[in-house]
Amino acid sequence: MANSMEWTAEAEARLKEIPFFVRPAARKKIEAFAREAGVAEITEEVYDQAKKKFG
């Protein structure tokens, strides 16, 4: 995945709390959110902001 973003270990751990069958879609949404925000790395803070936005 050349378009994949960097994730901190903490953010990856939080992603693993999401059921595996929706995880790929959640990862895409969070990465898209980060790109729009001009963020190069997914941190717990970015993860939380995205989660608030998408519910």
What's the domain count of the chain?
1
CATH number at residue 39: 1.10.8.550
pLDDT per position as a tens digit, 12-54: 999 999 999 999 999 999 999 999 999 999 999 999 999 999 8
Give domain status of residue 10, yes or no: yes
**pLDDT category, 3, cuts 50, 70, 90?**
low
Give domain status of residue 35, yes or no: yes
3-state secondary structure of 41: strand
Give domain status of residue 1, yes or no: no
Give domain status of residue 15, yes or no: yes
User: What value, to the nearest 5°, has the Cα angle with vertex 15 and ends 43 and 13?
Assistant: 75
If phi > 0 it is left, if psi is from -120 to 50 it is alpha, else beta; for residue 5 that is beta
- Give pLDDT, residue 16: 96
Is residue 1 scored above 90 in pLDDT?
Answer: no
3-state helix, strand, coil in the chain (%, to 5): 60, 5, 35
Is residue 4 scored above 80 in pLDDT?
Answer: no
> What is the value of pTM for the model shown?
0.87
- Domain that includes residue 24, residue range: 6-54
Give domain status of residue 20, yes or no: yes
